[in-house]
Amino acid sequence: MQFVSDPSIAIKIQKMEERVRWQASAIVDRGIDQTRLVLTDGQDDTPEFSFLVIGDSGSGQHRGHSPQRQIAQRMLDHRQDSRFILHTGDVIYLVGSSEFYLKNFIKPYREFIVGGEHYNRISYDQMVFNLPFLAVPGNHDYYDLPLAYGLAIQLTYPIRRLLQSRLNFDIGWHGSFQGKAYAQAFLDLLRSVEMRGGLGDHLDRHYTAETDTGRCLRYEPGKFTRLPNRYYTFRSGGIDFFALDSNTFNAPAPLPKTSEGQAYRRTLETRYAAVELEMQELLKQSGTLNPNQPQDAEQLDDIRVKLEQLEEVQRDIDKQLNVDESTVSDVAQLEWLRDRLIQSWRTKGVRGRVLFFHHPPYVTEATKWQQAQTLAVRRRLRQVLDEVSQEIGDLTKGRAIVDLVLNGHAHCLEYLRTTDTGHADANTNWIVCGGSGYSLRRQRVEGAAVTESLNGRDTLVAKSQLFVGREGRGSQKRRPYSFLRIDVRAGEPVKFVIRPFVSEWFQGRWHDRALSEFVI
């Protein structure tokens, strides 16, 4: 049972490049860097500043309460002190559809959008933010809904009653159209501008910031708040931020064409079938429950969460079964990251580096820690950092290549630190901020230590220092949703004060609290 479909990596890259008119002559002739922006917010670019982080937020109402709105309201307390908001992906569940931007994004974040007091009048493709809202796409922002399934849901077919009224999935007629809705909401769609005949004027009006990599987009809160590309960089207070699209370098390695590889393939096929049976049983169980009864409503929420988890398992298995030597990986983006990190280390006045993207390379959330996609992203990011390390040599003076990595995808809040991994991702700080609105997940039963098989031995490569996720059972179930405030301190090496904030839904009420801050 596949509720959604995931476009190929090649299609994701192609469609996004078409939308921003990647390297079009009018852009190249003007010397424009389409992967950079400059914040023009009227603030002094001081070495001490704060920013907010959220992720995996894009859900609607949860039977009488709205986690995303609760988090958004708490974020308002920090709005005046924060220079921008980073979003680690999955802006809209379940399939990134434009149909759900009003309910699942514009309405909950209305105070951060110009004209938000009349949020019903705001079109998702016309949003202007009054505080910089800097996003990266998540996997759900690329998903599509098979046509037959969309029709079945919208017509008076039994599955509509089962999935919509009982399980309350955010599913409408269609999906994202291969990431089109995300692009319309956040990116500067130069293709549309060009079709209207005004590309040159547009570039000369909005791409006027001068940098060492050429002219680039000027991001102006309250006026023009488009992003130049699906991956990009910007600088604040001497810190270089790198936003990545991990959806295009998360493909697993092909299965070996050996007897062991074929045996593993059969194992995956068996596991896929078992997951399918489990999903069918859950659907049957949901048909016996009454969403108007509090206890049944809690069970339906758990079933919805479990179904979405199981489908993730199926998609991960499907990626492993269907990958081959011809599968595209986003080499251009990874080479861009390598070159820009090298340049960052060689630029006077840059004192720190932060990466943010969707899929976490290190995590202990129960459904993500051993996904093939997790390991693929870890492997490819390691390769980039290793190449940077070889190139810059002693410039680091013992520091990590990047000071902080922020991710989503795992529905929790987690802080991990790598040990000596044998690679340039060693001794690095990793924070997963993916618990800002959608269904929360538990930590794996295997615990906080992340190991790898190195030279035939299980070796510790990372350890979780903090995990905030779903806990308890029955009436003691706790759902702690979260966001981060990060305060950047002056000086070099840079220091970050991490301030986690939690809104917990417990026994039908919200309980707000701030966790202990820590410095990295």
Mind listing the pLDDT tens digit for each residue in 328-347?
789 999 999 999 999 999 99
Percent of the chain with pLDDT over 90: 75
| Predicted pLDDT of residue 59 | 87
pLDDT number for residue 82: 98
pLDDT for the residue 101:
97
Kindly report the number of other CB atoms within 10 A of residue 12's CB atom.
21
User: How confident is the model over 186-210, as a mean pLDDT?
Assistant: 97
* 267-305: b (≥16 Cβ within 10 Å) or e: ebeeebeebeeebeebbeebeebebeeeeebbbbbbbbb
**How far is it, in rounded angstroms, from Cα 75 to Cα 54?**
10
| Residue 302 or 431, more confident | 431
| Model confidence at 163: pLDDT above 70 | no
Residue 164 has pLDDT above 50, yes or no: no
The pLDDT of residue 173 is: 83
- The three-state secondary structure class of 234 is strand
Q: For residue range 179-189, what is the model confidence (pLDDT) as tens digits?
A: 999 999 999 99
pTM tops 0.85, yes or no? yes
Cα-flanking dihedrals φ and ψ of residue 163, to 5°?
A: -85, -35
Range in 309-323, 354-368, 382-396, 429-443 with the lowest mean pLDDT: 309-323
At 316, list the tokens: 């991960």
User: Is 158's pLDDT higher than 70?
Assistant: no
Phi (first) and psi of residue 378, to 5 degrees: -60, -45
Could you read off the pLDDT of 228-242 as tens digits, one per residue?
999 999 999 999 999
